[in-house]
Chain A
Amino acid sequence: MSIAQNPLSVEVALPREGIALLTVEGHLDIDTATGLQHHLANQFQHGRRHFLLDLSAVPFMDSSGMNIIIRAYQQTRESSGSVHIIGPPPAVRRILDLTGVSITVPVSDTVDEALALVDRPRGEPEI
């Protein structure tokens, strides 16, 4: 799914029931975004509703990557789930802020932090 120059690796772990932790490594752009999308769709198919995206090893993300996150957000929203972003590097963080995605999708520094957020009963998204 990824081209040779910029391979994207996605590792999936299940820290808890219904929670999928996807550790992404590599450039998340128009060439590689579909790979991540497939993983997300697969986990959603298996009934997981909370997705923790560890982007700490993603040096670059473009609008394609952003769209994947937005789509996941829209999907989990309808089924009372959530999407969390963990440890984005500055460039990625900048994109998240620019597009305002960081407003609706919580950004945490660590996995534990994100897991704690999942536990917290959520009301309306903080804006």
Chain B
Amino acid sequence: MSRTEQCPDPAEGRSPDESAEEPADETADESGDEPGNESADESPDDSAALLTTYPVGRLAATVERLRREVRAAQAEADGRALIELAKGILVERLGCGPAQAARQLAELTEQAGVSTLELAVEVINQAARDRLSEVADAFLTAAKSTDAPTGDTSSRGHSPAVRMREAESGALAAPDTQAVADSLLQHALTPLGAVAVAIWTVRSDGSLTLAGSAGFSPAEAGRWHHVPPGVVTVARTSLSERAGQWIGSLAETGLPSIGQHQYPDGGRAAIPAGTGGRIHGALEIVWPSRLEPQPPQVVRQVEALAELCARTLETYAFVHGDEALREPRVVPDATELVDLADGLHDPALVLVPYLDGGQLVDFHIHHVNSRFLDPAGRPRGLVNGAMLLEAYPMAAGESDLFQRIERVYATGEPFRAQRMNLTALVDQVPLSAVAEISISRHANSVLLIWRIEDETARLASILQHAQRLGRIGGFEENLLTGEITWNTQLFTLYGRPPTSAPVPLEELPVHAHPDDAVTIGRFLRTLLHHRRPASASFRLRRPDEVTRHIRVVAEPVLDADGRLFVVRGAYQDISAQHWTEVALAATRVQLAHTEQQATERSRLTLQLQHAIMPPTQDPLRAPGIDVAVRYRPAETEHLVGGDWYDAVVLPSGLVLLCVGDVAGHGMEAATSMVVLRNALRGLAVTGAGPGQLLTWLNSVAHHLTGTVTATAVCGLYDPQNRTLRWARAGHLPPVLVRDTGATSLPLVKGLLLGAAPQATYEEDEVQLAVDDTLLMYTDGLIERRDRSMEESMTQLLTMVRAAPSTLDQQLDRLLTYSRSDTDDDTCIIGIRVS
């Protein structure tokens, strides 16, 4: 919120900001003034004072209310005003008093058989067509024939009013401005004591042209027919001040002017000649001697004459040879200006002056172009067609925008400003934007152009920064002319000075790493041969020996015949990105390696287990018995367990049979299994019994493997007498299948391995017969979550009862139909007495 759009209020000594924020912050208002009090004092009549006396912010707030009141009042008063206007016309034309005019109007109404208002409108309409005399005559004729005549006013006397009318009719009848000057001097100015008159017209270039004169020598008129811009004369002063200049003696001012030698000490008057707020020129009047201050009536008369001049200046082409040709006085239609505005790339408004009683009060926003951008963000439709001060009440504030437009309209001097505050009110909050402003007059309209600086500047700067931050360099290459355009960023990217010649796309391979030649070749082929958008990444070798990773994106631009003529695109330095990708790839490799390691570890475990216990094994050659083993590893590799079996003929001729299960899974369980298995083999060579072997094995488990616990069943078969001595350490006892019966051997006492430092193991002996089958197994065969060990055992015994012919078949069948629901490894060892 800038201060500049607020109109300071010296009378109250309050800052504009305070007044703007007043509704929100009443405590800040210590003067005790209520905003309402001030608005209550204002009447529509005071609006002119309001414009200058009160802060614009408050003014804007009341505009809407005033507009509503005015509209209501207008609707009411229109009818009456028209009648009053018609009366006024009659008063002037008939030279009678208002009362008589009223009577006249009433009588005319009666005769014409129309309503008073209709008649009044008829009178005004005719008047507006500038046929005042005829209208008056017509009415006079009518009046004389019906009522007491008021006299022949058209030819009577020398009253100022009549003189004026005579001058007017003379001027209206005159073929050019020169004739107007003659008429003015003869009819209106000589009676005032003036001896010469000059009518200046102001041109768009600011120069003055003597459009007509009377009372000067032709030579003097010829000398002064053109006054270049910037030369200060009496007429010019009136134009720049936009106020009538009344000079007692020309010599005292020191200003040059026409006829200065003929009447050096004479009085002068220079009045801006304007209609409807637009100044067309100036009327300069020369008195032969010193001019005393004139009475207001005379001043008003002269001003009226100036306005008359303005009308003639507006109406007639000047007879000044080539200049007339250069500036034809044909008033262009506003539609041309609308077309012009629509062709502009900046927001533009076509303003048409809005007159009230001949006074310029506002501008009508005749058109806004398609690029129009409201500083307050309102849609075009809301602004289009509105009054300028209604749409932009703040324009009357300190920004002077309205005054600038007014001045441009009046003088025709275009106005340009680089940075000007444009302020708009949005819900009483002034929004300001800095804009580039251009105001120019075209015929009877004003073209207002603004470019809201912030946005374009910001956009351009954002783009620039984005390119810099993204290390993007843009290029365009014309293939027909060979012209190449690079932006500065691209030169930086290439490591070349901005003064050097850009590198054509075709030469790209020369600047790239040789290994990228194929990539670039493909890129160029897609782009230039197939004429399709293409992109490629390559290593750019810069002159400074630095290698950058660059991504180039380009698209072909085809002409109307479909021929390729321009290629445009961008280079982006993706080196940082590239190295991130490289790092990522390395991490991926590392990860894959780790994964592979884990897989290998599992495989190694499995291999270890397989090496020790092949899933299938050649039948063990042992005297008197068939031995078969089955090992089924866990389905998932990482679940490799610690199950083991062993069947070996000892030096003593006994056969060692063993099944064990180390708690847990994985490498640790597998290695512990290897330790226990090999330890048992070694210990068995001593010839000790199974109970003793397990006691030692318990020590091994407890002391050598750390915290591992394991279960095992261990037996020594004596082929001589077909007996099996066995002991168990927390393991399931063997199952004996004899004929069609299957029984589990007794649960002799024996603690699992590794639980206690020392343990003893009970032994059992079983006498086997021919065709007896004995099974040792791990709990992977029977373990189920949903039923007890007992039930599982019963299930197993039932299954093994229906013994198939061979031992191998029996073991296979056990594995196949195992009711186990755990994905655990499983071990079975079976012997059949032969």
- Are the chains A and B members of one assembly? yes
Nearest B-chain residue to A103, judged by Cβ: B751
Q: B756 in the interface, Cβ–Cβ < 8 Å?
A: yes
Residue contact A70 to B755, C-beta cutoff 8 Å: yes
* Chain A 90-108 per-residue mask, 1 if CB under 8 angstroms from chain B, else 0: 1100110111110110000
CB-CB contacts below 8 Å: A96-127 with B: 97-101, 103-104, 125, 127
Contact A73 B788 (CB under 8 A): no
Q: Which of A46-73 contact B (CB under 8 A)?
A: 60, 62-63, 67, 70, 73
Q: Does B437 contact A (CB under 8 A)?
A: no
B730 and A60 contacting across the interface, CB-CB below 8 Å: no
**Known contacts A67-B709, A74-B755, A77-B756; is-contact A100 B788 (Cβ 8 Å):** no
Give the contacting residue for A99; candidates B752, B783, B785, B788; CB below 8 A: B752
Closest B residue to A31 using CB positions = B785
Shortest beta-carbon distance from A92 to chain B in Å: 9
Contact of B755 among A29, A62, A63, A104 (CB under 8 A): A104
Q: Does B732 contact A (CB under 8 A)?
A: yes
Residue B423 CB within 8 A of the other chain: no
CB–CB B785/A104 < 8 A: no
Tell me the minimal C-beta distance from A35 to chain B in angstroms: 18
Name B730's contact: one of A90, A98, A125 (CB within 8 Å). A98
For residue B798, give the distance in angstroms from its CB to the closest CB of chain A: 18
Flag whether B750 is at the interface (Cβ < 8 A): yes
Other-chain contact of B788, A77, A94, A97 (Cβ < 8 Å): A94
Instruction: Give the number of chain A interface residues (Cβ < 8 Å).
Output: 22
Name which of A62, A74, A77, A100 has the most chain B CB atoms within 10 A of its CB. A100
Residues of B within 8 A of A62 (CB): 783, 785
Chain A contacts for B585, CB-based, 8 A? none
- Once the chains bind, are A101 and B730 in contact (CB under 8 Å)? yes
- The reply to whether B790 and A101 contact each other, CB–CB distance below 8 Å, is no
Could you give, for residues 248-290 of chain B, a 1 whenever the CB lies within 8 Å of some chain A CB and a 0 otherwise?
0000000000000000000000000000000000000000000
A94 pairs with B730, CB closer than 8 A: no
Q: What sequence of 0s and 1s flags, for each residue 11-26 of chain A, a beta carbon within 8 Å of any chain B beta carbon?
A: 0000000000000000
- In the complex where A70-B755, A127-B749 touch, is A100 in contact with B789 (Cβ < 8 A)? no
CB-CB contacts below 8 Å: B682-739 with A: 709, 711, 729-732
* Complex: A103 Cα to B755 Cα, angstroms: 11
Neighbouring B residues of A74 by C-beta, 8 Å: 755-756
Distance in angstroms between the alpha carbons of A98 and B711 in the assembled complex: 10
Given contacts A60-B788, A70-B709, A94-B789, contact A101 B752 (CB under 8 A): yes
B785 touches A100 (CB 8 A): no
Write out the residue numbers on chain B whose beta carbons fall within 8 Å of the beta carbon of A70. 709, 752, 755
Asked if residues B755 and A91 are in contact (CB atoms below 8 Å), the reply is: no
B237 CB–A CB distance under 8 Å: no
Complex Cα–Cα for A126 and B145 (A): 158
Smallest Cβ-Cβ distance to B664: which chain A residue? A67
Contact of A100 with B663 at beta-carbon distance under 8 Å, contacts A67-B709, A91-B788 already known: no
What A residues does B779 contact at CB under 8 A?
Answer: 63
Verify A98–B749 contact, CB threshold 8 A. no
Q: Which of A63, A90, A97, A100 contacts B729 (CB 8 A)?
A: A100
Q: Which of B749, B756, B790 has the most CB of A within 10 A?
A: B756
Is B760 among interface residues, defined by CB-CB distance under 8 A? Answer: yes
B residues less than 8 Å from A67 (CB atoms)? 663, 709
* Residue-wise interface mask of A (69-93) relative to B, using a CB-CB cutoff of 8 A (1 in contact, 0 not): 0100110010000000000001100
Contacts of B663 in A (CB 8 A): 63, 67
Bound Cα distance from A11 to B390, whole angstroms? 85
Cβ contact within 8 Å between A99 and B790: no
- Cβ contact within 8 Å between B755 and A98: no
Task: Determine how close the nearest CB of chain A comes to the CB of B103; give it in whole angstroms.
Answer: 109
Query: A100: shortest Cβ distance to chain B, in Å?
Result: 4
Check: B243 CB closer than 8 A to any chain A CB: no
Residues of A with C-beta under 8 A to B788: 60, 91, 94
Q: Is B756 in contact with A104, judged by CB distance below 8 angstroms?
A: yes
Least Cβ distance of B820 to chain A in Å?
13
Chain A contacts of B711 at CB under 8 A?
99
B747 interface hit (Cβ, 8 Å): yes
Which of A77, A98, A125 sits near B789, CB closer than 8 Å? A98
CB distance from B165 to the nearest CB of A (A): 111
Contact B789 A91 (CB under 8 A): yes
Measured CB to CB, the closest approach of chain B to A5, in angstroms, equals 11
Write out the residue numbers on chain B whose beta carbons fall within 8 Å of the beta carbon of A95. 789
Least CB distance, A103 to chain B, in whole angstroms: 5
**Shortest Cβ distance from A45 into chain B, in angstroms?**
20
Given A60-B788, A67-B663, A97 and B747 contact (CB-CB distance below 8 Å) = yes
In chain B, what residue has the closest Cβ to A99? Answer: B730
**Do B755 and A101 touch (CB < 8 A)?**
yes
Q: Are A91 and B709 in touch, CB under 8 angstroms?
A: no
Residues of B within 8 A of A127 (CB): 749, 751, 759-760
Q: Could you tell me the distance between the alpha carbons of A29 and B790 in the complex, rounded to whole angstroms?
A: 17
A residues near B709, Cβ cutoff 8 Å: 67, 70
Q: Are A91 and B751 in contact (CB under 8 A)?
A: no
Complex-state Cα separation, A97 to B730, whole angstroms:
8
Closest Cβ–Cβ distance, residue B762 to chain A (whole Å): 9
Q: How far is the CB of B16 from chain A (nearest CB, A)?
A: 72
Residues of A within 8 A of B789 (CB): 91, 94-95, 98
Smallest beta-carbon distance B826→chain A, Å: 15
Q: How far is the CA of A104 from the CA of B758 in the complex (A)?
A: 10
- Complex Cα–Cα for A127 and B727 (A): 15
When C-beta atoms are compared, the residue in chain B nearest to A91 turns out to be: B788
Q: Which residues of B lie under 8 Å from residue A60 when comparing CB positions?
A: 788
In-complex Cβ contact of A103 among B749, B783, B790 (8 A): B749
CA distance A95 to B760 in the complex (A): 19
A73 in contact with B755 given A63-B663, A91-B789, A94-B790 (CB within 8 Å): yes
Kindly provide the distance from the CB of B486 to the nearest chain A CB, expressed in whole angstroms. 68
Q: What separation, in Å, do the CA atoms of A92 and B788 have in the docked complex?
A: 9
B782 smallest CB distance to A (angstroms): 11
Chain A residue with the shortest CB-CB distance to B751: A100
Q: Determine if B750 and A100 form an interchain contact, defined as CB atoms under 8 angstroms apart.
A: yes
Determine if A29 and B751 form an interchain contact, defined as CB atoms under 8 angstroms apart: no
Please tell me which one of the listed residues A63, A90, A104 contacts residue B751 in the complex, with CB atoms under 8 A apart.
Answer: A104
CB distance from B803 to the nearest CB of A (A): 25
Residues 748-803 (chain B) with a chain A CB within 8 angstroms: 749-752, 755-756, 759-760, 779, 783, 785, 788-790
Residues of B within 8 A of A100 (CB): 729-730, 749-752, 755, 759
In the assembled complex, the Cα of A98 lies from the Cα of B785 at a distance in Å of 17
A63 to B755 Cα, complex, angstroms: 13
- Of chain B, the residue at the smallest CB distance from A73 is B755
A8 to B719 alpha-carbon distance, docked (Å): 51
Once the chains are docked, how many angstroms separate the CA of A49 from the CA of B752? 23
Give Cα distance in the complex from A100 to B663, angstroms: 15
Q: How far is the CB of B209 from chain A (nearest CB, A)?
A: 104
Give complex CA distance A70, B709 in Å. Answer: 9
Q: Find the A residue at minimum CB distance from B762.
A: A127
- How far is A78 from B760 in the complex, measured between Cα atoms in Å? 20
Residue of A nearest to B757 (CB): A77
Q: Which B residue sits closest to A71, measured CB to CB? A: B707
Whether B732 lies near A98 (C-beta < 8 A) is yes
28 CB contacts below 8 A, A to B, read: A62-B783, A62-B785, A63-B663, A63-B779, A67-B663, A67-B709, A70-B755, A73-B755, A74-B756, A91-B789, A94-B790, A95-B789, A97-B747, A98-B730, A98-B731, A98-B747, A99-B711, A99-B751, A100-B729, A100-B750, A100-B759, A101-B730, A101-B752, A103-B750, A104-B751, A104-B756, A125-B756, A127-B760
Q: A60-B788, A100-B749, A101-B752 are in contact. List 11 more A-B contacts (CB 8 A).
A: A29-B785, A62-B783, A70-B755, A73-B755, A73-B756, A90-B790, A91-B790, A98-B732, A99-B730, A99-B752, A100-B730
- Complex A-B, nearest 7 residue pairs according to Cβ-Cβ distance, in ascending order: A100-B751, A99-B730, A91-B788, A100-B730, A70-B755, A99-B752, A100-B750
